[in-house]
């Protein structure tokens, strides 16, 4: 998974609810691996309320400073496994049991609330599932409306870290 993958998948990213969520996870993973250009691709699937306009980015938007600071936290030690956990990696296997190029997000349930859909995701490093909200805009694009901060939260330490005392 790299920036080329994001470029290739950008135009299809917001065509479905689950596709938008997966694309966001892809962007966060690429960013976490050190490629700041991934921020410019997040605008394809994030609501404008999360973003600022930026004509130099591929999507025309980048996360606003509040969310950029949150996303930057994914590079910190305590959050380094958050995205791998969402991709299906488990703490028992030190989050190495996932292939970022070939993964499925574990959606456990789906709830409609007016125009928004709330999906619950089971991640391998969390005890409880967590929600992400999506909604279709007036252009027919699915956008993330809530749950970005929960997606970026820390997860359980790896088994190796837990047993190293």
pTM to 2 decimal places: 0.96
Domain boundaries, the chain: 3-162
pLDDT band at 1 (very low <50, low <70, confident <90, very high): very high
For the stretch 71-119, pLDDT in tens is 999 999 989 999 999 999 999 999 999 999 999 999 999 999 888 999 9
For the stretch 40-66, pLDDT in tens is 999 999 999 999 999 999 999 999 999
The strand ranges marked E within the chain are 51-53, 61-63, 106-113, 116-122, 130-136, 142-146
Rg for the chain, CA atoms, rounded: 15
For the stretch 16-25, pLDDT in tens is 999 999 999 9
Residue 106 CA: distances (Å) to CA of 2, 10, 77, 110, 122: 22, 22, 24, 12, 5
* Cα torsion angle, 111, 116, 120, 126, sign: negative
């Amino acid at each position: 998974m790299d920036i080329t993958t994001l470029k290739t998948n950008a135009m299809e990213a917001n065509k479905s609810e689950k596709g938008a969520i997966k694309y966001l996870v892809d962007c966060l993973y690429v960013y976490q691996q050190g490629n700041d250009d991934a921020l410019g691709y997040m605008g394809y699937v994030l609501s404008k309320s999360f973003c600022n306009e930026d004509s130099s980015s591929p999507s025309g938007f980048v996360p606003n400073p509040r969310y950029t600071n949150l996303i930057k936290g994914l590079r910190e030690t305590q959050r380094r496994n958050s995205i791998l956990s969402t991709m299906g990696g488990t703490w028992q296997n030190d989050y190495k049991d996932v292939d970022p190029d070939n993964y499925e997000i574990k959606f456990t349930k789906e709830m409609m609330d007016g125009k928004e859909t709330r999906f619950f995701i089971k991640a391998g490093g969390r005890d409880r599932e967590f929600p992400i909200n999506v909604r279709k805009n007036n252009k027919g694009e699915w956008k993330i409306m809530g749950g970005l901060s929960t997606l970026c939260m820390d997860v359980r330490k790896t088994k190796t870290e837990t047993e190293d005392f």
